[in-house]
Chains A and B, each alone.
Chain A
Amino acid sequence: MSDTPFVGTPRKATTHTNQNEGLIFEKSSPGKKAYRMDALDVPAVDAAALLGDTLRTDNLGLMPELSEIEIVRHFTRLSTWNYAIDLGMFPLGSCTMKYNGRVNEAVSRFEGIAEAHPYQPESLSQGALGIMKQLQDCLLEITGMDAITLQPAAGAHGEFTGILMIRAYHESKGNARKKVLIPDSAHGTNPATAAVVGYQIQNLKSNADGAVDLDELRKAVDEDTAALMLTNPSTIGVFESQIHEIADILHAKGALLYMDGANMNALVGKTRPGDFGADVMHLNLHKTFSTPHGGGGPGSGPVACKAILEPFLPTPVVVERENGTLGFDYNRPQTVGRVRMFYGNFGMFVRALAYTLANGPDGLRLTTEDAVLNANYIRAKLEGIFDLPYKTRSMHEVVFSDKLQAKFGVKTGDMGKRLIDYGFHAYTVSFPMIVSGAMMIEPTESESREELDLLIDALQQIAREAAENPELVKTAPHTTRIRRLDETAAARKPILRWQGPPQAVEADTAAKEW
């Protein structure tokens, strides 16, 4: 870091210390083993005789051969190349990178839970069903909805399920309708989802406050409109104060309100979508309910709805039988069908319920309040240093723009990269699209005042650097083991798998230094 100037004295700057490590295939040698099979207690078989011409004969190609210690070191070294919540803050707007309680991991590994087979008899699955039922009850109370499915595997899968249910509802009235309205501030999954369900997409221009423009909405909604997909709070972190009017405009024409619950962590315990007019919504258990992001999944996207949509829920649904036991009901004539095999990402239900129990009603409310407090604190400290395009009240996230720094040639993406040198993950860059050069910051409740002050300090320094030494910011990050990567080359000539033994490819340049 000695050759990397910082303006001032950054308190959390990092050198990202770690070791070099090649690909696992480059470390493999014939004859090494990291496993030993149990002694075979049944007669051995002649695989060639049993399988005939379906026998595999290629000796499993390039599959690696290593010892256990080498495997442990390989993945441990790789892990040190990652930034993670356990190391520090991810101010990623919309992504809700909050602390993942470790008790959640512990309980999900209890034998009766981790080893439960999805087809084991219902009488021997009462614990698993009990977890699903209790989580469902909690989520219904939190959302103010009437019915729920836990089956969708992620947020986008939940959107798919919700829009399918809306379509089935309209079909039950004799007309599936043609289009889904989507604000220009929406997540990319929204239009992609509506398209998969066979709807045309009509974009809705936001008003000067970044909210839904009621006049635009009135003009757009007609008898062909199936639904509006709305994120609330919106992607600029603002509560749609006219939400009930929005719902009324839709309902007057028979259209429904789909709420993208990606930002539900701003609302839990303070207000309920079911009370303010949403007809159906998804939740992201990996955002609001703290199940780990794991480098990009698994997620879980339960869908909660009003009673009018309940008949269309995917099968099976959890029901309480007359004898008081729990079971799955498959006999749902109006169902949209199954969206995933078995019952969804059950392991995430376990973790989300553990989180809910650890919080209780008071903890859930305080969590929401702290998330909103943190975002507003960042906003108060950084307004003026960065351009704030929308002055409306922020909830759990705040969106600045790079307008003041762009005049020095420094863009939002550059400042996001520079934040890495200060020991943080980048904020969300260039989203939502309605803000040019967006810098979207969501601290979550998991950050102490001290950590927030470090982030604020880092961003203030970066703003100074942008003015005084823009090249420093434009070439960031400087302290990571890998510098900016050539993404254009990656896409132009894709290399999506290891190409062959070490001698056949360019040697690991990092390894040469040894």
Chain B
Amino acid sequence: MRYLPKSPADRESMLKEIGAASIDDLFDSVPAEYRLTRDLDVPRQHSEHEVMEAFKVFAAQNATGYASFLGAGAYRHYRPVVIDSLSQRGEFLTSYTPYQPEIAQGTLQALFEFQTMICELTGMDIANASMYDGSTGAAEAVMMAVRVTGRNAAVIARTVHPEYREVLTTYAQHQGIPQTEVGYTANGRVDVAALDAAITADTACVLIQSPNFFGTIEDVAKIAEIAHAKGALLIVSIAEAVSLGIVKPPVEADIVSLEAQSFGVPVGFGGPYCGVIAAKEKFLRQMPGRLCGQTVDTEGQRGFVLTLSTREQHIRREKATSNICTNQSLVALMVTIFLTVYGKGLQELAEQNLAKAHFTADSLAKTTGAKLLFEGAPRFNEFVLTTPDTAAAMNAGLLEKKIIGGLPMAQWYPELGANASLWCATELITRAQIDAAAEALASTALTTA
């Protein structure tokens, strides 16, 4: 086996030095009846070339060469080449959690830079060193709000990503956190009157997403005012992080739960991504996850350490703020490199997204019988379109032209009907693809009409 650095003679002499007659002597604490005496029934040993070939076959069975208008929590943005050149360096890739800071300053300083940039972008005071992803991050943010306020209920906007809401339900079910769902109005924004009515003296927090699942940007200041008036915290979840380049950060929020996948992380069939929780400084002690902090060494030099670990499971065990241990460090590094490459240019990137999405929306809406939903409130790079036939039928027509159309919405929002779909256009969508999609949509509409 090519990964194993021992010769047969090494093994033999080491066994001798241990005083064991055979390797199986070392497994004699496993009762004989449970010892596996056959080969595992897994594929035979592959050469490196054979491994490559096996995955080429898998890769070819996935969509390639399609123009995709899918977003909905996983966004395709350009990934500068240096992200992989740098994050693939063995010193980053194959290092451990930086519990020995003297030989982990590279990872620690990068995390400190990550935390700083997340604070700058979200308008929060503090940010942690990452969570698994945006969905679990939002659930952890709700549990954090429950600890902060001593209240136990949560009010959730129906325009939060449906899978985020499902994860929250899973997390909250044994924590005694009742959830109330609040709907949306004709412009796609949270129904603030219903929201106001839903908040009670038990409400620990209001959770919204902005831009929300429909791509609509919420009136965060207004919602914060309503929540705060009743003593509840406001948590803003952000699934499309590139929006922060041009959309006002949710500074009125108490906690921001960000999915940073858009910042240089491949869509990769849904993971690994990079969640992160940012918050007002006063909530620091209730923050879940690892935190990197600045300090000095015995000679007064600046250095970084994982800090405030008394919140965490390896110290506090069942009284910890979360059970999270391993997080998404390497992905946070990719995010940090992406944000360093774009820096203030994130605004230009976001503006291109805005332009592409508006052009796409206008082009597709020209299809006879098609209509944009939720007009009247600002959007970022996604929109909901209703088409003359079902989203499934329209998409089938588009697929023939090697175009993956919008995501059918009825599975989560039956009230929008079978003809509604969620479209996304990032900077990577080209004019030619938009024109082709508009044309294919129009011809599919004609055929099915």
Contact = CB atoms under 8 A, between A and B. Distances in A.
A359 interface: yes
A498 B30 contact: no
Contacts of A103: 48, 51-52
Interface string A218-261: 00000000000000000000110101100000000000000000
A52 B378 contact: yes
B51 A90 contact: no
Interface residues of B, number: 196
A343 B271 contact: yes
Contacts, number: 681
Interface stretch (A303-311, A363-371, A404-412, A465-473): A363-371
Given A71-B82, A72-B86, A487-B307, 4 more contacts: A130-B61, A238-B29, A338-B167, A426-B100
A276 interface: yes
Contact of A509 (B301, B314, B431): B301
Interface string A79-96: 111111111001010010
B320 to A, nearest CB: 4
A486 B163 CA distance: 42
A359 B59 CA distance: 21
Interface string A145-179: 00000000111110110001001000000000000
B189 to A, nearest CB: 11
A116 B109 CA distance: 32
Contact of A496 (B127, B174, B316): B127
A5 interface: no
8 contacts: A16-B103, A75-B340, A83-B91, A115-B268, A270-B36, A293-B97, A354-B55, A477-B102
Contacts of B125: 497
Contact of B308 (A267, A299, A380, A494): A494
A195 interface: yes
B271 A106 contact: no
Contact of A124 (B28, B62, B130, B298): B62
A504 interface: no
B86 A76 contact: yes
B348 to A, nearest CB: 6
A117 B74 contact: yes
Contact of A82 (B95, B176, B348): B95
B42 A113 contact: no
Nearest to B337: A75
B22 to A, nearest CB: 10
Given A68-B82, A103-B48, A510 B302 contact: yes
A154 to B, nearest CB: 4
A333 interface: no
B64 interface: yes
Contact of A37 (B293, B312, B348): B348
Nearest to A499: B294
A508 B296 CA distance: 11
Contacts of A55: 246-248
Contact of A340 (B102, B167, B307): B167
Given A50-B378, A51-B247, A497-B127, A298 B14 contact: no
B107 A295 contact: yes
B323 A298 contact: no
Contacts of B98: 295-296
A194 B148 CA distance: 21
A138 B39 CA distance: 12
B70 A83 contact: no
Contacts of B105: 78, 81-82, 481-482
A417 B100 CA distance: 8
Interface string B406-449: 01000000000000000000010011101000000000000000
Given A60-B347, A83-B103, A495 B170 contact: no
A56 B175 contact: no
Contacts of B182: none
B343 interface: yes
